[in-house]
Copies of this chain bind each other. A is one copy, B any other.
């Protein structure tokens, strides 16, 4: 199975700008990428990073400076067998969640992400193509239906929580298992808990 992990090496995680500087966003994005690669490795996969620029990781890197959708579709178009695409911003990912993804039946397997994203997918048939954008999960379901493909949807929080916005960092601090969480702790990103409502984050040394 060919497994791709797309990575934006140019300006990753721009929506975290209220909390992290540009250099920090890049460094944190790489920490998350390494978490994803580690979970995939531990599940006996051999991921390839599909990056818009240079990135230093312990995995093969293919550079493609195009948008995500054409870059992924080119790979889907030439693949001989099953292809998986797993997003790089899933720092809650565990080998167990990857195993469940792989065990999910269907010609196409989709892992929904917060806000309508498609955080991971497996295409076990040729002909399927991606269209990554806001609300892509719906379009991916519709496209699979048009092609008369059986769709499996995995019910996973660890695959569903991608990190785009400051509030997502709460999930990393609470449920992250690797480098992403460690990075946040080392950079003084902390939980802010009130008696009611959801936990938020704040930044600064412990009082």
Contact = CB atoms under 8 A, between A and B. Distances in A.
Interface in A64-95: 94
Interface in A18-75: none
Contacts of A155: 94, 96-97, 100, 156-158
A198 B116 contact: yes
Given A155-B157, A157-B156, A133 B195 contact: yes
A52 B195 CA distance: 19
Given A133-B195, A155-B156, 16 more contacts: A15-B197, A94-B155, A112-B157, A114-B171, A115-B170, A115-B198, A116-B170, A116-B198, A116-B199, A134-B193, A134-B195, A135-B199, A157-B157, A157-B159, A164-B197, A165-B198
Interface of A: 15, 94, 96-97, 100, 112, 114-117, 133-135, 137-138, 155-161, 164-165, 167, 170-171, 174-175, 191, 193-200
B112 A194 contact: no
A138 B74 CA distance: 43
Nearest to A96: B155
Contacts of A161: 160
A196 B97 contact: no
A26 to B, nearest CB: 19
A97 B115 CA distance: 20
B171 A135 contact: no
A193 B116 contact: yes
B114 A198 contact: yes
Contacts of A175: 112
Contacts of A157: 112, 155-157, 159-160
A170 B116 CA distance: 8
A194 B115 CA distance: 11
